[in-house]
Amino acid sequence: MKIYINGKFYDKENAKVSVFDHGLLYGDGVFEGIRSYSRRVFKLSEHIDRLLESAQSIMLKIPLTKEQLIKAVVQTLKINKLENAYIRLVVSRGVGDLGLDPRKCTQGPTIIVIADKIALYPEKLYREGLAIVTVPTVRNLPEALNPQIKSLNYLNNILAKIEAANAGCDEAIMLDSLGYVAECTGDNIFVVKNGHLYTPPQCMGTLRGITRDSILEIARRDKIPAHEHVITRHEVYISDECFLTGTAAEVIPVVKVDGRVIGQGKPGKLTLNLIKKFKELTVKNGVKY
């Protein structure tokens, strides 16, 4: 495996960053998780745009253009000869001193691209569906650390993941500070009621997921009524179907929430249909390499 760091490729054993990197010391940086399917990088342009927006928001000046970032991702995939991959693009504030002042990171950002394989959940769960729970840790307040910033600081989500695991579940529903459903630890959430799709709006402490947007794009195309609307736990409990979306997890059905069986207790018809349509979209679209 070859890993890209600041324009050079390193073997896995030698792919190292400084202990003074503020990505490590403070989680000061931004990232993207991206997938490629059959030698096409899915929604690469959208992922790079989101990375650049995260960087803009935290005043992290990335010394590469959008085109150069795309090239770094594509080069990493080519050198590793991967047809289907999970790509982690990381940009940290770089090497500084032990204070948190980012102005001390004078060498510039550390840019890393790792391309590997990933299967987030066992295949069985895609066929049978997940059981998830609502956890006590609420999603970061947008006015404190906006979830639109895909920062390297994922403790908020990791705490929720730990709480889900403590409850014997693989995934957690995180609420916003008002008690509305925000999202899961690394996925967006959708419910289906009477043939309509609902997902929380991005202003509610929800990341505007690229997989989420792809589902909304499919819904628009295929005239499935879809709404970005606030959702309560009650509306999740009484939904006909529920599923999660994310680059790593793709589209995964949910069949139990906080002990309540959702719909018929098995992946719903619309969910299975959307999984199929999402798969079709991934192999037809994206930057070729």
User: So which residues are the catalytic ones?
Assistant: 150
Query: Which of the ranges 66-74, 78-86, 244-252, 257-265 carries the binding residues for ligand PXG, by CB under 6 A?
Result: 244-252
Residues 116-135 that bind ligand PXG (CB under 6 A): 120
When the beta carbons of 107 and 159 are compared against ligand PXG, the nearer one is 159
Count, residues near ligand PXG per rule CB under 6 A: 17
Residues 52-71 that bind ligand PXG (CB under 6 A): none
Strands 181-184 and 110-116, sheet pairing: unpaired
Say whether residue 171 binds ligand PXG (CB under 6 A): no
Say whether residue 187 binds ligand PXG (CB under 6 A): yes
Tell me which of 5, 248, 272, 275 binds ligand PXG, using CB under 6 A.
248
- Minimum Å gap between C-beta 157 and ligand PXG is 6
x/- track of binding to ligand PXG for residues 192-221 (CB under 6 A): ---------------x-xxxx---------
Residues that bind ligand PXG (CB under 6 A): 33, 120, 157, 183, 186-188, 207, 209-212, 245-249
